[in-house]
Chain A
Amino acid sequence: MEEVDFARDTIAFVQMFLQMGITNPWFYRAFIGRLYYAAHHLGRRLLAEAGLQPADWRVNVHQRVTQELNQHYVVSGRMSRQAWLALGELCGLRLAADYELQRSIRLRHVNHALALFTRFAQECYHNLEVS
């Protein structure tokens, strides 16, 4: 599944660059953005598996993915509320990284984004029956 491959590549590259000692905040913003979108695409894959067609959505797509995940996965118990809230929090971090250029984005924020992504992605992988 391309969304799973993209998610794995994303976390692998983010961790690789961090281990290389990247400290420029520009990269921190990029890492947070990529982590969010990797999670977003996993969410879209889950919804496609549930019979929805997020590829056809054009308005408020990010919010709709979150809402529909709640309806189709959280309410039914297939995803924990914690994992679902992690996606929402990761989205907020991405908004900060993308729009708040005067705000300091630090390594702590990246590590938090990594934790949020991991929490959400693990439950997505479980639902998609991939390791």
Chain B
Amino acid sequence: MDLRDKVARIIREEMGDCLADLEYRGPYEGEEFTVYIGLRYEPEDLEERNLRMRDRVEELGRYVAMVLDFPKEAIAA
């Protein structure tokens, strides 16, 4: 499983059904890549999920940028 797959799996596990899509871009400034995490809605525990996701990706030991792409109309689940 390459880095992109590992990161995608972590994001899907943490974001669950609030995840709409993933888009890979870059690299821009030395990162492996930047992944845009499209959200269908903002769950109440988004902050906790976000922290766990970033912690787990950080443990992979590679520099990956992740950007939450909020829905145009934020809907709290």
> Within the assembled complex, what's the spacing in Å between the Cα atoms of A62 and B63?
11
Q: Which residues of A contact B12 (CB under 8 A)?
A: none
Q: How many A-B residue contacts, CB cutoff 8 Å?
A: 51
A58 at the interface (CB under 8 A from B): no
Most buried by A among B34, B36, B65: B65
- The segment from A4-12, A92-100, A122-130 found at the interface with B is A92-100
Q: How far is the CA of A81 from the CA of B69 in the complex (A)?
A: 22
One of B26, B28, B34, B55 near A81 (C-beta < 8 A): B55
Compute how far the CA of A88 lies from the CA of B25 in the bound complex, rounded to whole angstroms: 17
Q: Which residues of A contact B41 (CB under 8 A)?
A: none
Asked if A63 is at the interface (CB within 8 A of a chain B CB), the reply is yes
Q: How many residues of A contact B (CB 8 A)?
A: 22
B69: nearest chain-A partner, CB-CB: A103
- A81, B63: Cα distance in complex, Å: 16
B34 CB, min distance to chain A CBs, angstroms: 6
Apart from A60-B30, A95-B26, A95-B67, 5 more pairs, CB < 8 Å: A62-B29, A82-B51, A88-B54, A89-B68, A96-B36
